[in-house]
């Protein structure tokens, strides 16, 4: 049995790469594992040799100490890998398959899974609907920023790439299928993006850039992306986005200069609960700023997609209400404009197969647009540090040196 190394959260601001247990077809006790899941058998699971596992902004929230994540938690929910072992109940996935792993863990059997709501599966997390690998309060399924990882319900969860050689040639793009590409796409779909749409996207991090890529794929005429970081705005501009520097003032005024009117058809919040103010408040955390802005700049009768993460527990919040996820949002404004809102985890399986086909047939360049940057597993701590400083990159961990 080979060894295994993984990226471990040690406490606010610190991650390390440590030797950990090799995965087995049973959930073991450990940091963050729900006691009700300890000893859970996984005969329907598969063990993967991880080909790529990406650093996500959601991971960064934990590493900043902005969640209740325990020290010792193995991180990582964006996983692409090669199947090296299957449980006795796995029928269709085979050893040797190269697969994408949706970050949502779903059983495929419950009411929500059968309705396509795989982000809120009822059977994988004893505390609440919905689960993910290596994430706080998500049931304790071990993270995939590692050399090897366990995936339950393999026949249901895993998306097999049709040709391994073709997939490896496009692996930088295909690794985005585990989370940020479907998540950005979901934000746009739920915001109603279509042919000729004008779109405002808050946040030029990887999810925001994926949302912008998705907006173009869906036929948007104008895609505006807003951020505080010049490097990230430059990255958005590199593939055709109009950019809005919210450190200089109200996005509404800048939208009017671009469109000739101050409102858009569709808006996407790709920032989440660590939002900062605009203009003179740009250096101050204002967790409701983006939610209020997207309501303000979306036309009456429009829709807002909210793939940006909001949490129920934020010990680092600036006020007591925000520590339990209570924000001062202008719901009356949204109601008065008859806006539609969609929140929550993206149900990755709703989109990943279609987006895979778009990648394989050269209809999109998601890796280029998010500036995918491959680094070895042992450089993960530096990747986290650089990402935290606002690097306009999507860091892809390559545990086995398999990515050319």
Residue 369 lies in a domain: yes
Same domain, 24 and 47: yes
Phi, psi (rounded to 5 degrees) for 150? -100, 135
Q: What is the reported pLDDT for 1? A: 67
Residue 13 lies in a domain: yes
Q: How far apart are CA 180 and CA 54, in angstroms?
A: 10
pTM: 0.96
Same domain, 205 and 232: yes
Q: How far apart are CA 135 and CA 34, in angstroms?
A: 12
Q: What is the reported pLDDT for 304? A: 98
Q: What is the reported pLDDT for 221? A: 98
Q: What is the reported pLDDT for 89? A: 98
Where a domain ends, among 301, 323, 342?
Answer: 342
Same domain, 161 and 284: no
Q: How many domains does the chain have?
A: 2
Residue 70 lies in a domain: yes
Which residues, other chains included, contact 13 with Cβ-Cβ below 8 Å and sequence gap of 6+?
63, 64, 65
- Which residue range is the domain that position 205 belongs to? 180-342
Q: How far apart are CA 77 and CA 212, in angstroms?
A: 22
Q: What is the reported pLDDT for 344? A: 93
Q: What is the reported pLDDT for 311? A: 85
Residue 403 lies in a domain: no
Same domain, 149 and 270: no
Nearest residue to 267 (alpha-carbon basis) of 203, 344, 219, 353? 203
Where a domain ends, among 301, 318, 342?
Answer: 342
Where a domain ends, among 342, 360, 383?
Answer: 342
The DSSP secondary structure of 15-59, one letter per residue, reads: EEEEE-PPP-SBPPP-TT--GGGTT-B-TT-EEEEEEEEE--HHH
Mean pLDDT by 10 residues, the chain (404 residues): 92 96 95 92 98 95 91 97 98 98 97 97 95 93 97 98 97 98 98 98 97 98 96 97 94 96 98 85 84 96 95 83 87 96 96 98 97 98 94 97 94
Residue 387 lies in a domain: yes
């Amino acid at each position: 049995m080979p060894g295994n190394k993984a990226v471990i959260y040690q406490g606010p601001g610190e991650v390390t790469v440590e030797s950990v247990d090799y995965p087995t077809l049973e959930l073991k006790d450990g940091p963050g594992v729900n006691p009700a899941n300890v000893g859970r058998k996984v005969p329907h699971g598969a063990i993967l040799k991880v080909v790529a596992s990406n650093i996500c902004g959601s991971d960064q929230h934990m590493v900043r100490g902005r969640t209740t994540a325990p020290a010792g938690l193995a991180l990582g929910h964006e996983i692409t890998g090669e199947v090296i072992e299957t449980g006795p109940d796995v029928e269709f996935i085979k050893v040797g398959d190269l697969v994408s792993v949706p970050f949502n863990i779903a059983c495929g059997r419950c009411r929500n899974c059968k309705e396509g709501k795989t982000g809120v599966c009822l059977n994988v997390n004893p505390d609440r609907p919905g689960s993910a690998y290596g994430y706080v309060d998500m049931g304790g399924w071990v993270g995939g920023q590692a050399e090897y990882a366990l995936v339950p319900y393999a026949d249901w969860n895993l998306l097999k790439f049709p040709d391994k050689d073709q997939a490896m040639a496009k692996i930088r793009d295909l690794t985005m299928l585990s989370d940020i590409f479907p998540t950005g796409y979901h934000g746009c779909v739920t915001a109603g993006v279509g042919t000729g749409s004008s779109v405002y996207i808050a946040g030029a991090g990887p999810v925001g850039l994926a949302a912008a890529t998705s907006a173009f794929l869906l036929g948007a005429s104008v895609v505006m992306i807003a951020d505080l970081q010049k490097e990230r705005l430059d990255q958005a501009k590199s593939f055709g986005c109009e950019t809005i520097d919210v450190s200089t003032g109200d996005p509404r005024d800048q939208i009017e200069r671009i469109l000739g009117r101050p409102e858009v058809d569709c808006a996407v919040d790709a920032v989440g609960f660590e939002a900062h103010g605009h203009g003179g408040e740009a250096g101050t955390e204002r967790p409701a700023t983006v939610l209020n802005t997207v309501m303000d700049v979306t036309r009456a009768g429009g829709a807002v997609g909210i793939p940006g993460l909001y949490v129920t527990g934020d010990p680092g919040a600036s006020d007591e209400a925000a520590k339990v996820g209570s924000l001062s949002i202008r719901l009356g404004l949204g109601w008065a404009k008859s806006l539609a809102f969609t929140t929550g985890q993206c149900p990755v399986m709703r989109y990943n197969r279609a987006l895979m086909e778009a990648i394989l047939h050269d209809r999109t360049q998601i890796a280029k647009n998010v500036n995918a940057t491959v680094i070895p597993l042992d450089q993960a701590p530096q990747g986290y540090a650089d990402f935290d400083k606002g690097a306009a990159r999507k860091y892809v961990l390559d545990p086995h040196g398999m990515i050319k």
